Amino acid sequence: MAEATIMVFRGEAHQGGEEKEYTVPVQEGMVVLDALLYIQANYAGDLAVRWNCKAAKCGSCSAEINGKLGLTCKMRMDSLPLEEPVRVYPMKTFPLIKDLVTDVSWNYEIEKRIPPFAPPEGELTMYQEDIDRIQEFRKCIECFLCQNICHVLRTHDRKDSFFGPRYMIKIAELQMHPLDTVDRTELLNGDGGMGFCNITKCCTEVCPENIQITDNAIIPLKERVADRFFDPLLWILRKLAGK
Amino acid sequence: MMEMYETHTHDVIVIGAGGAGLRVAIEVSAQGASVGLVCKSLLGKAHTVMAEGGIAAALANVDAGDDWETHFCDTMRGGKMLNNWRMAQLHAQEAPDRVKELERWGALFDRTKEGRIMQRAFGGHTWKRLCHVGDRTGLEMLRTLQDKGVHSGIDVYMECTITDILKDGDRVAGAMGYWRESGKFVVFPTKAIVLATGGIGKIYKVTSNSWEYTGDGQCLAYSAGAELIDMEAVQFHPTGMIWPPSVKGILVTEAVRGEGGILRNSEGQRFMEKYDPENMELSTRDVVARAIYTEVQEGRGSTHGGAYLDISHKDSEIVKRKLPSMYHQFMDFADIDITKAPMEVFPTTHYIMGGVRVEAETGRSTVPGLFAAGEVAGGMHGSNRLGGNSLSDLLVFGRRAGMGAAEYAKGVDAGSLKIDESQIELNEKELLAPFENTGGQNPYTIHQELQDIMQAYFGVFRTEERLQQGIEELAKLRVKASVLTIEGSRIYNPGWHLCRDLKSMLIVSEAIGRTALLRKESRGAHSRVDYPDSDNENWGKVNTVICKHGDEMKVDTSPLPEMPDELKRLFTEVK
């Protein structure tokens, strides 16, 4: 049977870590997560890996494989050059807990800061054509790969001033909801840090659900923010109206 | 001594944060009680995300003839009348309101032309009844509940595993567990506990379930003295993926058949004609699973030993729009374009109908202060669950258990509850033993052996002889598993976590084995080759019951609750 060499980052918070080498048998259709679970069962029972559904639907098993961001349950071994070792690392943007597991709790703190959907009273009537575009955003599996790749968060560590692409599509979904009654543009322009995004589209490229984060969510939101806060004509009108 | 432990005190502790647990916690909070929601994984990752086809509710948006009575009858018939009739009634009556409520909380279901919630056909449902979002309904529901939950003042304890329920006499007084991250123990003093831990699929080798589905709630309830009913009723979903090996068992949604998918054998025959000519592919899951299994056994299997499931005769754009997850799942994992070629499928362990015995109205178990909702609870689905009835079950009984637990907690004086600290110490010693043991078994190896046994002896078809053998194998494995050894520290150590999970899995496996042996008939998902018929006179009138008796597992039966005449009449009336 064919074999592959896997180099897995092993280490704990504040202690650093190093690559460890393992050899695993390769089966047809095998994914990187299969290799990691094989390592767990046969060589290193304490290898920390976060995973759940193993079907690319829960977004738990995000990692950096040969420097590329992806879900380990979706990344097929036969898509990688197996004559070289496969290198598996944890997401860089979030603090390390152990091995491939990082502390992503910051994301949940951001979620709390976004005002939820607020519908009007009575029966809700919506048409498919009005919700098609926001259903795209609802496909998000919260793998946080977009947060991980975003250079505002990854390179500049501005978690204090930018919510990140995941929460841009969350806000877009609510702002574009045909029945929602709350305005979140001020949040976007303020705490949300919309201005930090310079639309490099890295987030869109790594999304395992192929959500067009930049084109369909961030750019339209930027337009709304611009209309609201930076349109000179509207600014004069608002001044005249005393608002 | 309590000062030694990190403690978090609440009126109600909910264990599990899937659809049921979140709905429970939202309700407890709405009732004004303090609630802690504890889950093994991160929030939003629970197995509910894997539910695909839809949520069953008699909204009558597409088929005007639908009503709760028809939904009730479909559910009872699907469960082969073993269901708790009151649960099935409440479920059918309340599901529409729960769906509308979900929509008010932000769920975006697919729409009809009139702008209402779209509904699709599913196995065993008389009318088009399943509200859905393509084939990712579970994700939509879980995310909606998550959003609602985080804005409802719920304290969430993520990646925390509850290992033991702590009692004061007969009553619940708290729970203890460990943080996965640090391995440190934590105690939750509480007046009431709601179990919402889901199912048991990981005891089988081929399953659609995630690693979390290790029977924790069933085991916690059993250990606390609660009764489990109908544990033999394990649902094998007819259509799991079979190739390549890496994805064996992953669910292929029933919505494929709901949208017109056809099952064929290697001879090209549409074999459901033989098994259920009236309903064909949309027969109930027990029937379709047995049909596929039988076709393969009799030598008419597909290339990799399953059946062909074909949707390629439908317009490819419609397939991609209605079944986007399936399209990508087969494209990404099996290199198959389902708009052009058939899928290969075989039954996969999917769901357990049996579980903690609860009171229909409140979710109360037989232990004071202990409640259960969702898959971990028994009774609602009888011996076979209809597709789509699980998501509605989570909402209807999640809400009810939340109300039940909050109400119970109001009547308990927190000061009167005492936690026995020696019990905590004992549990702690047991949990840490694998670090101390030398020369014990590798928990991963034991888990694989368990899965092999369950797959071989307790599968789709069962016989007395095989069940007996399986029970003996399980007994041997329990002895072997009594001394486990692991490596590493307490920090995020999956090997150590598996040791505790194995304890739950072994208890649940034994319960399934014992009740499967006891029920000498075939009913729903429980198919006995040696007793191929249903025995309505005897077995049709009882639940099987498991409870802890000292250190022994006691197996018994108890009479089904008697259905009132006005509901009985629904089954004879021609509609």
Residues 49..108 of A with a Cβ closer than 8 Å to B: which?
Answer: 49-60, 74, 76, 97-99, 101, 103-105, 108
In chain B, residues with a C-beta closer than 8 Å to the C-beta of A131 are 108, 111
Asked if the structure places residue A242 within a domain, the reply is: no
Taking each helix axis as running N to C, give the angle between helix B494-518 and helix B443-457, from 0 to 180 degrees, rounded to the nearest 10. Answer: 20
Tell me, yes or no, if B329 comes closer than 8 A to chain A by beta carbon. yes
Indicate if A123 and A74 belong to the same structural domain: no
CB-side neighbour CA atoms (13 Å) of B139: 23
Instruction: Answer whether B150 sits within 8 Å of A111, measured CB to CB.
Output: yes
Indicate if A85 and A109 belong to the same structural domain: no
Task: Give the span between the Cα atoms of B258 and A183, in whole angstroms.
Answer: 39
Please report, in angstroms and rounded to a whole number, the separation of the first and last CA atoms in chain A: 73
pLDDT of residue B3: 62
DSSP assignments along B491-508, one per residue: TT-HHHHHHHHHHHHHHH
CA distance A127 to chain B (A): 4
CB atoms closer than 10 angstroms to residue B313: 11
Q: Which of A49, A104, A126 sits opposite B42 (nearest CB)?
A: A104
Instruction: Answer whether B487 sits within 8 Å of A44, measured CB to CB.
Output: yes
* Best of B331, B332, B496 to mutate (most A CBs within 10 Å, chain A): B332
Which residue of chain B comes nearest to A53, CA vs CA?
A: B210
Indicate if A136 and A221 belong to the same structural domain: yes
Indicate if B334 and B463 belong to the same structural domain: no
Please report, in angstroms and rounded to a whole number, the separation of the first and last CA atoms in chain B: 65
Task: Give the span between the Cα atoms of B417 and A72, in whole angstroms.
Answer: 46
Asked if the structure places residue B376 within a domain, the reply is: no
Instruction: Answer whether A97 sits within 8 Å of B491, measured CB to CB.
Output: yes
Q: Which residue has the tokens 């459901």?
A: B272
Give the CA distances from residue A142 to residues A61, A139, B180, B254, in Å, rounded to whole numbers and listed in that order.
11, 9, 20, 25
Mean pLDDT of the region B33-58? 96
Q: Is A235 a residue whose pLDDT tops 80? A: no
The residues, ordered by sequence, that sit 6+ positions from A231 with a Cβ below 8 Å of its Cβ are none
The count of structural domains within chain A is 2
Closest to B156 (Cα-Cα) out of B301, B39, B27: B39
Q: Is A100 a residue whose pLDDT tops 50? A: yes
What CATH number is associated with residue A10? 3.10.20.30
Task: Give the span between the Cα atoms of A234 and B73, in whole angstroms.
Answer: 61
CA distance B352 to chain A (A): 18
Indicate if A117 and A218 belong to the same structural domain: yes
Peptide bond connecting B244 to the previous residue in cis, omega within 30 degrees of 0? yes
Task: Give the span between the Cα atoms of B421 and B441, in whole angstroms.
Answer: 30
Q: What interface predicted TM-score (ipTM) does this complex get?
A: 0.96
Instruction: Answer whether A29 sits within 8 Å of B334, measured CB to CB.
Output: yes
Indicate if A169 and A58 belong to the same structural domain: no
Asked if the structure places residue B343 within a domain, the reply is: yes
Asked if the structure places residue A92 within a domain, the reply is: yes
Cβ atoms of A163 and A218 within 8 Å: the answer is no
Indicate if B442 and B342 belong to the same structural domain: no
Cβ atoms of B510 and B474 within 8 Å: the answer is yes
Indicate if A116 and A222 belong to the same structural domain: yes
Work out the burial of residue B275: count CB atoms within 10 Å of its CB; fewer than 13 is exposed, 13-18 middle, 19 or more buried.
Answer: middle
**Given B331, B348, B365, which residue is the final one in a domain?**
B348
Indicate if A223 and A116 belong to the same structural domain: yes
pLDDT of residue B574: 55
Domain ranges, residue B476: 421-559
Cβ atoms of B148 and B30 within 8 Å: the answer is no
Tell me, yes or no, if A28 comes closer than 8 A to chain B by beta carbon. yes
Q: Is A132 a residue whose pLDDT tops 90? A: yes
H/E run at residue B412: none
Residues 453..482 of B with a Cβ closer than 8 Å to A: which?
Answer: none
**Given A57, A73, A102, which residue is the final one in a domain?**
A102
Give the CA distances from residue B368 to residues A153, B171, B328, B396, B559, in Å, rounded to whole numbers and listed in that order.
49, 5, 47, 22, 22
Closest to B195 (Cα-Cα) out of B7, B316, B396, B374: B374
Cβ atoms of A58 and B45 within 8 Å: the answer is yes
CB atoms closer than 10 angstroms to residue A85: 18
**Spacing of C-alpha B293 from chain mean position:** 22
Which residue of chain A comes nearest to B491, CA vs CA?
A: A98
Indicate if A109 and A219 belong to the same structural domain: yes
DSSP label at residue B531: B
Indicate if A68 and A82 belong to the same structural domain: yes
User: At B181, is the secondary structure helix, strand, or coil?
Assistant: coil
- Which residues partner with B528 through β-bridges? B462, B531
Asked if the structure places residue A203 within a domain, the reply is: yes
Q: Is A243 a residue whose pLDDT tops 70? A: no
Mean pLDDT of the region B444-462? 97
Indicate if B436 and B552 belong to the same structural domain: yes
**Given A67, A102, A137, which residue is the final one in a domain?**
A102
The count of structural domains within chain B is 2
**Given B286, B319, B348, which residue is the final one in a domain?**
B348
Which residue of chain B comes nearest to A49, CA vs CA?
A: B494
Indicate if B339 and B425 belong to the same structural domain: no
Indicate if A117 and A33 belong to the same structural domain: no
Give the CA distances from residue B121 to residues B97, B112, B126, B237, B571, in Å, rounded to whole numbers and listed in that order.
20, 14, 8, 17, 21
Mean pLDDT of the region B183-205? 98
In chain B, residues with a C-beta closer than 8 Å to the C-beta of A42 are 444
Asked if the structure places residue A60 within a domain, the reply is: yes
**Given A102, A123, A146, which residue is the final one in a domain?**
A102
Q: Is B447 a residue whose pLDDT tops 80? A: yes
Closest to A11 (Cα-Cα) out of B491, B184, B487, B183: B491
CA distance B486 to chain A (A): 7
Mean pLDDT of the region B191-219? 97
What CATH number is associated with residue B334? 3.90.700.10
Phi, psi of A209 (to 5 degrees): -95, 5
DSSP label at residue B177: E
Q: Is B191 a residue whose pLDDT tops 90? A: yes
- Which residues partner with B258 through β-bridges? none
Buried b (16+ CB within 10 A) or exposed e, B205-239: bbbbbbbbbbbbbbbbbbbbbbbbbbbbbbbbbbb
Q: Which residue has the tokens 């004509």?
A: A233
Cβ atoms of B350 and B201 within 8 Å: the answer is yes
The residues, ordered by sequence, that sit 6+ positions from B23 with a Cβ below 8 Å of its Cβ are B145, B373, B394, B395, B398, B399, B402
Phi, psi of A226 (to 5 degrees): -60, -45
Q: Is B1 a residue whose pLDDT tops 70? A: no
pLDDT of residue A242: 73
H/E run at residue B381: none
Q: Is B142 a residue whose pLDDT tops 70? A: yes
Q: Is A233 a residue whose pLDDT tops 90? A: no
**Given B348, B373, B397, which residue is the final one in a domain?**
B348
DSSP label at residue A27: -
Segment B8-45, tens digit of pLDDT: 999 999 999 999 999 999 999 999 999 999 999 999 99
Band (pLDDT 50/70/90 cuts) for residue A240 is confident
Segment A170-202, tens digit of pLDDT: 999 999 999 999 999 999 999 999 999 999 999
Domain ranges, residue A51: 3-102
Which residue of chain B comes nearest to A55, CA vs CA?
A: B250
Q: Which of B41, B244, B489 sits opposite A29 (nearest CB)?
A: B244
Cβ atoms of A220 and A172 within 8 Å: the answer is yes
Mean pLDDT of the region A5-9? 98
Indicate if A72 and A13 belong to the same structural domain: yes
Indicate if B441 and B335 belong to the same structural domain: no
Closest to B464 (Cα-Cα) out of B533, B518, B534: B518
Asked if the structure places residue B310 within a domain, the reply is: yes
The secondary structure of B341-371, three-state, reads CCEEEEEEEEEECCEECCCCCCCECCCCCEE
* Best of A27, A138, A177, A207 to mutate (most B CBs within 10 Å, chain B): A138
Work out the burial of residue A219: count CB atoms within 10 Å of its CB; fewer than 13 is exposed, 13-18 middle, 19 or more buried.
Answer: middle
What CATH number is associated with residue B501? 1.20.58.100
Ranking A218-232, B167-181, B348-362 by mean pLDDT, the lowest is: A218-232
Mean pLDDT of the region B523-536? 97
Tokens of B74: 């479909």
DSSP label at residue A228: I
The residues, ordered by sequence, that sit 6+ positions from B397 with a Cβ below 8 Å of its Cβ are B20, B87, B90, B91, B358, B363, B373, B374, B377, B380
Asked if the structure places residue B230 within a domain, the reply is: no
Q: Is B54 a residue whose pLDDT tops 50? A: yes
What CATH number is associated with residue A209? 1.10.1060.10
User: Known catalytic residues of B?
Assistant: 237, 257
Sign of dihedral through CA atoms B238, B244, B246, B252? negative
Band (pLDDT 50/70/90 cuts) for residue B92 is very high
Indicate if A67 and A111 belong to the same structural domain: no
Closest to B61 (Cα-Cα) out of B101, B12, B100: B100
Q: Is A234 a residue whose pLDDT tops 90? A: no
Tell me, yes or no, if A139 comes closer than 8 A to chain B by beta carbon. yes
Mean pLDDT of the region B155-173? 97
Tell me, yes or no, if B143 comes closer than 8 A to chain A by beta carbon. yes
Asked if the structure places residue B228 within a domain, the reply is: no
Tell me, yes or no, if B522 comes closer than 8 A to chain A by beta carbon. no
Sign of dihedral through CA atoms B533, B534, B535, B536? negative
